[in-house]
Chain A
Amino acid sequence: MTAIWRAFATPKGSVAGLWLILLVGVALFAPLLTAFQYDVQNLKGAFQPPSAAHWLGTDEFGRDLLTRMMYGARTSLTVSSVAIGISVLAGMILGASAGYFGGWFDRAVTVIVDLTWSFPEILVALMLVAIIGPGVTGTMVAISVAYLAQFTRLTRAQIMAIKGEPYIEAARSLGGTDSHIVLHHLIPNALAPVLVSAMLATGDAIILEATLGFFGLGAQPPTPSWGGMMSSGTAQLFKAPWIILFPGLAVATTVIAINLYGDALIRALDIRARLRVA
């Protein structure tokens, strides 16, 4: 916990952290922050450029773009963080068991992980959405599977590195069971690098979610997501470039903030070397 504050105390970390807090706040309290509704069309007021009434303009259905971006933050942040959450959990269980037990299980996990790891995430995600079907659930599962290999690999490497440490030997000689050792000693010690890389991966996941949305596979209309807004905005690129400009900026600033804060965290925790193990 203290590392989070130390990271926050750095200049870059504070700016990035504040932006992320602001964003989460906006996503949570979107209905209170805007007078407009995200799904009510006003076709006569379509394609309005940014103005005092509509700060970021209106889209092709006359809906307030700022409002849709606030609600879109809900979708994009939820999908990417839940997906990465699932991915981290599953990856830690897989990676920790592989690293701790070794043997054929380890070899099998390593082979599969290496196979999928070199494969572009977008392809893995595209194929999975094709199987599951488009929509919020489909993209969430697809993104979590796409990043599974990364976390399995990282956790396994961490476990391998600390498995031989004297205190683990000590715990075992004191009669600690496998699950006790894994849950109480190995995972907590491997946690910091995994969580930091999970944070950075959330940034990538936001981009991946937007890309799937661009292919029309993300949240289905009228539910807004940043990717989906850009997807339908593509058709209006010429007429109303702001429809695609602002959601893209939102993605970029959010991912930058995540990266900057992640960097600050890495410094605060001093785990750069451990991240490179993987």
Chain B
Amino acid sequence: MTISLRKTAIAASVSLAALFAAVPMVFAQEAIFVLPAAEVGVPTYNVVATGNTNTGASLIYDTLTVQDADQSYHPGLAESWVEAPDGMSWIFTLKTGVKFHNGEPFNAAAAAAWLALYATTDNSYMTAAIDKIEAPDDVTLKLTMKYPEPNLLYNLSSSFMGVVEPKAYAAAGENYGVTVAVGTGPYKLESFTIGSETVLVRNEDYTWGSSLSENKGPAKIARITLREIPEDSTAFLELKTGGVDMLLGVATDFLGELAKEPTITSLTLPGQEVVYMPFNVTKAPFDDIKVRQAAALAVNQQEILDSVYGGVGSVANQFLISALPESKVAPEYLISYDPVKAAALLEEAGWVMGADGVRAKDGVPLSITLWTQSDSVFRRLTEVVQAELKAVGIASEITIFDSSMIRDQYKTGEQLAAVRSYFWNNADIVDWFFGGDRLGYPNISMFNDSKAEELRTKAMTGSANQAERIANFTAYHEYVLSQFPMAPIYQPVQNVGYNKDRVTMPAVIRGTSIGAATIMDMSVTE
């Protein structure tokens, strides 16, 4: 807001606004970013336990390893690492001179205590392969494995494995991540208001920036406010009028408008998001695979891409982002729009078309509830899906939940179908959303199938190396697709929009999305 005021005072010195502009507060190097709509409503920065996090976590915490845009791994808090040839042990050599925000030293003992925290949380699968954690000296962390884990470096680079200060974690109890969050990252948490904003201040002691950023520390921007604005139009207007400096996710709807603005520019990064519609396989009518398949085939992915997303991004025909090798499933598993087949399947299943355009069986109409979250783009997409389902004779009633509440609603298991999306760039997301021990949420589909569980265990724990892991996960993914627990819809790209008069971006964006690596090299002009 300060920015808009300052501009106003110059541009319209005789306007009414000038009377109210008073003295604009000018903060040195202060920036306001808006989180993508999909990151709105994250309930905590407790990355150890939460199933959802946002860009702020990558600024508060460092990770042992970092992943670049080309999926390669680079040193983070770990300077180097060695994997035993049989994959049964790893040795990490840690950086020295690193301190947590509360002054505690970061060393192997702290890292070991932090890793141990995962065992009892929802994210335990991240460390499930680790049998024993040892810290023989301050800089050496030795992990002995139960089974080889080709995905370990990925896990360690994920924002869910930000290194948390174990003492502060224990002391804060349930409040950890909301009122307190202590990491070693380039920014300290000043305040966090759930669903509204996170204020971060620069960690002045920071000198251990990862190998992905030019600037090793401290960061150039002194203070960052991450705002959560569920309405894409409001976020866009804020950027346009100078109320904020950058949108970390621009709805594709606004790309055209954005291009017209002389001060605003945008850049596009590969997507990590998949929009899909899970079906509850335990409840009628979706306990019948034919109905699930029909509903999945009723979704016109191309129409949605063209009309709702303005042709930006791509259609989704399977569950993973297309950059992952495990997304290359055999063609017969791909799920694409086919209304004729959808109608045939429903006929086969005994659902006969009625005069009102809704199918019925034994006098019961084929009517479902369709859950979605309050963000406008989801509401709009869900209305399109509603019309597409209606076109094959499935009536649906939309129920909208608050973005930060809907995950709790899924835990009740009462959902029939939902329109939602996830952000992840690893095939283990199939395990996360369809694992039989996570019914409700994240397993919104309530999918619990013995064949799938078998393939899942093999994929998660039975892969000696990366090639085996890819093969195992592809097989698991293919089987899940064949059971139609969800309908794939759309794969967005990440559109970032920023005020180029204010923000200077590094020449090359490193990392898989705009996070600490990029923000370290970013600066704002006053």
A–B touching in complex (CB under 8 Å): yes
- A234-B376 contact, Cβ under 8 Å, with A43-B307, A220-B398, A239-B257: yes
Q: Is the CB of A39 within 8 A of B387?
A: yes
- A216-B374 contact, Cβ under 8 Å, with A61-B384, A221-B386, A237-B233: yes
A137 interface hit (Cβ, 8 Å): no
A276 neighbours in B (Cβ, 8 Å): none
Q: Is the CB of B303 within 8 A of A238?
A: no
Q: Is the CB of B380 within 8 A of A235?
A: yes
Q: Is the CB of A46 within 8 A of B307?
A: yes
B231 interface hit (Cβ, 8 Å): yes
A232 interface hit (Cβ, 8 Å): yes
A224 to chain B, nearest CB (A): 12
Q: Is the CB of B233 within 8 A of A41?
A: no
A60 interface hit (Cβ, 8 Å): yes
State in angstroms the CA–CA spacing of A155 and B15 once bound together.
Answer: 51
A116 interface hit (Cβ, 8 Å): no
A232 neighbours in B (Cβ, 8 Å): 376, 379-380, 383
Question: Can you name the residue of chain A whose Cβ is closest to the Cβ of B387?
Answer: A41
Q: Is the CB of A235 within 8 A of B303?
A: no
Q: Is the CB of B397 within 8 A of A43?
A: no
State in angstroms the CA–CA spacing of A46 and B236 once bound together.
Answer: 20
Q: Is the CB of B384 within 8 A of A238?
A: no
B237 interface hit (Cβ, 8 Å): yes
B308 neighbours in A (Cβ, 8 Å): 43
State in angstroms the CA–CA spacing of A41 and B397 once bound together.
Answer: 16
A61 neighbours in B (Cβ, 8 Å): 380, 383-384, 387
- A235-B232 contact, Cβ under 8 Å, with A44-B307, A216-B374: yes
Q: Which of B385-403 contact A (CB under 8 A)?
A: 386-387, 390, 397-400
State in angstroms the CA–CA spacing of A239 and B306 once bound together.
Answer: 17
State in angstroms the CA–CA spacing of A46 and B253 once bound together.
Answer: 12
State in angstroms the CA–CA spacing of A57 and B384 once bound together.
Answer: 19
A43 neighbours in B (Cβ, 8 Å): 303, 306-308, 384
A220 neighbours in B (Cβ, 8 Å): 397-399
- A216-B387 contact, Cβ under 8 Å, with A234-B376, A235-B233: no
State in angstroms the CA–CA spacing of A61 and B390 once bound together.
Answer: 15
State in angstroms the CA–CA spacing of A232 and B380 once bound together.
Answer: 8
Q: Is the CB of A238 within 8 A of B383?
A: no
Question: Can you name the residue of chain A whose Cβ is closest to the Cβ of B380?
Answer: A60
B257 to chain A, nearest CB (A): 7
A185 to chain B, nearest CB (A): 48
A235's partner among B257, B376, B398 (CB-CB below 8 A) is B376
A78 interface hit (Cβ, 8 Å): no
State in angstroms the CA–CA spacing of A236 and B236 once bound together.
Answer: 11
A222 interface hit (Cβ, 8 Å): yes
A221's partner among B231, B307, B376, B383 (CB-CB below 8 A) is B383
A222 neighbours in B (Cβ, 8 Å): 383, 386-387
Return the CB mask of A50-66 against B: 1 if under 8 Å, else 0. 00000000001100000
B233's partner among A39, A46, A221, A236 (CB-CB below 8 A) is A236
State in angstroms the CA–CA spacing of A237 and B376 once bound together.
Answer: 12
From A46, A60, A235, residue with most partner B Cβ within 10 Å: A235
A40 neighbours in B (Cβ, 8 Å): 387
Question: Can you name the residue of chain B whose Cβ is closest to the Cβ of A61?
Answer: B383
B397 neighbours in A (Cβ, 8 Å): 220
A241 to chain B, nearest CB (A): 11
State in angstroms the CA–CA spacing of A238 and B398 once bound together.
Answer: 25
A234's partner among B233, B257, B383 (CB-CB below 8 A) is B233
B277 to chain A, nearest CB (A): 16
State in angstroms the CA–CA spacing of A267 and B397 once bound together.
Answer: 47
Q: Is the CB of A238 within 8 A of B257?
A: yes
Q: List 9 A-B contacts (CB under 8 A).
A: A39-B387, A43-B307, A43-B384, A46-B307, A216-B374, A220-B399, A221-B386, A235-B377, A239-B257
Closest 10 CB pairs of A and B: A235-B376, A43-B307, A41-B387, A235-B233, A221-B383, A237-B233, A221-B398, A216-B400, A238-B233, A220-B398
- Point out residues on A near B: beta carbons under 8 Å: 39-41, 43-44, 46, 60-61, 134, 216, 220-222, 232, 234-239
- Give me 16 other A-B pairs in contact (C-beta within 8 A), A61-B384, A235-B231, A239-B253 excluded: A41-B383, A41-B384, A44-B306, A61-B383, A216-B374, A220-B397, A220-B398, A221-B383, A222-B386, A232-B376, A232-B380, A234-B233, A235-B377, A237-B233, A237-B237, A238-B236
